[in-house]
Structure 1
Amino acid sequence: MSPRFLEDISAALAEHGLIPRGGFVFGAGEEAPPGRSGWPASSVLLVGQAGAAPWPHFSRWRERQPADLKDPLDTWSRVVIGQAGQKFGARAVSPSDRPWLPFQQWAMRAEGLKPSPLGILMHPEYGLWHAYRGALLFEIEIPIQEPRKVSHLCDACVGKPCMKSCPVDAYSPGGFAYEACLAHVRGANGEPCRTGGCLDRNACPAGAEYRYPADVQAFHMASFASPVR
């Protein structure tokens, strides 16, 4: 393994606006998903984004695809992370793979993060404006640093504006009212959410400099509100 192994992976991902999001070595006796050859993986490296950095790269790729392409962002992520897997000898996996892989548990373990009241993991720098697009499963142990201990910003937030901005109170201590949210976004009064993104998410002051632009938020909201195909 090259001494610059992780740096080389970072450089390859950076060409698409993506970044490594931490990882870990599976413990002895821990059930790990299969790697590239079918044997259990030894290590996992998560891949994701900070802010909307991948958007220009994705947009250029999207212009060359059929207009009716299903799940374009997921497809693009699979292509890009799959190429990295081929190059570095790993199996690329996606959060939408079936059977489901425990991406949120992996993310919390890899970066030491905790969920916000909205369910999105709160990052000390990026706030709620980040995402995990996939992961690379290696059958070797790769040199991953242990996650540093980070403060959970939500613990120090007294006002909880993220719980007070939704017109239909979709988020509450009882959980996410999916049907109410969906009906509102699709309805006559849902235009602010459709064009500018979730009001609760935008109300959080953390990581404001990484907030997705309105067109990116509108894309994600349209994906959320579109009928299941």
Structure 2
Amino acid sequence: MIYAAALTAAQACGLDIYGGFHGGADDGLPADHQTLLLLGPAPDFWARVQQEPELCDGLSDPIDRWSTRVIHALAAQLNAMPFLPFGGPPYAPFLSWAMKTNRAWSSPVGMLVHDRAGLMVSYRGALAFRGRLDLPPTGAKPCDTCAAKPCLSACPVDALSADKGYNTEACHVYLNSPAGQSCLSQGCIARRACPVSAGANRSAAQSAHHMSYFHKPTAFP
């Protein structure tokens, strides 16, 4: 197996490789596996999945069900072991895996920032390989050259902070207000403020779908 073949197979179903690393059991990889590749949405992800059966059957968690089916099929095709960031406990250590790729880092607001997807980074799954795949060069942390750091001042209720963590209650209360409707319909304003987030090609419809699972209005005053 070579990296280019894994990339081509992933992109053929609307996914992309968001980074990889060489490791072993100490990194949470299964025995005798040496390479892990993290998978996230490709630029055409949302357009592709709209016609998939999971998005059309009216049942809950369509994206997770789609990810399960597609990533398990990819694993079988590429002779790899699949991992998903949901369905636990136990949960695979996706946060630490992401940072091991040297393509994702902790941002000024605490969330992960990716070298191409910015604060819109998300992972749909991962594939572990027995062989040591040749990985492409990694990027640089975008925050290091971002003088403005608009993510720090974008949230109207200051719900995001690397020092204080994520104030989920303040966020949900804001989302219940008229002013918060733009976050519900277009995605978190702090995530959108990151200049690199445009690289994720995240449509408003895709963000609204995920926000509908994150925020349940009746649960907050």
Interval containing the TM-score (normalised by the shorter chain): 0.7 to 0.9
Structure 2 residue aligned with 1:83, among 73, 98, 116?
73
Give the aligned partner of residue 98 of structure 2.
107
Give the aligned partner of residue 32 of structure 1.
28
Q: How does 1:1-229 map to 2 (within 5 A)?
A: 1=1, 5-27=2-24, 30=26, 32-34=28-30, 39=31, 41-50=33-42, 52-62=43-53, 65-67=56-58, 69-98=59-88, 99-138=90-129, 140-145=130-135, 147-148=137-138, 150-172=139-161, 173-226=163-216
Find the aligned partners of 1:7 and 1:157 in 2 and give their Cα distance.
Answer: 31
Find the aligned partners of 1:63 and 1:103 in 2 and give their Cα distance.
Answer: 24
Find the aligned partners of 1:62 and 1:128 in 2 and give their Cα distance.
Answer: 29
What fraction of aligned residue pairs are identical, expressed as a percent?
35
Q: CA RMSD in A?
A: 2.6
Give the number of aligned pairs.
216
- Could you tell me whether the CA contact under 8 Å between 1:170 and 1:177 is conserved in 2? yes
Q: CA deviation at 1:175?
A: 1.3
Secondary structure of the 1:87 match is: helix
Find the aligned partners of 1:129 and 1:175 in 2 and give their Cα distance.
Answer: 18
Question: Comparing both structures, which one devotes a greater share of its residues to helix?
Answer: 2
- Could you tell me whether the CA contact under 8 Å between 2:35 and 2:133 is conserved in 1? no
Find the aligned partners of 1:135 and 1:210 in 2 and give their Cα distance.
Answer: 18
Find the aligned partners of 1:175 and 1:20 in 2 and give their Cα distance.
Answer: 28
- Could you tell me whether the CA contact under 8 Å between 2:21 and 2:37 is conserved in 1? yes
Q: CA deviation at 1:40?
A: 5.4
- Which residues of structure 2 form unaligned runs of 5+? none
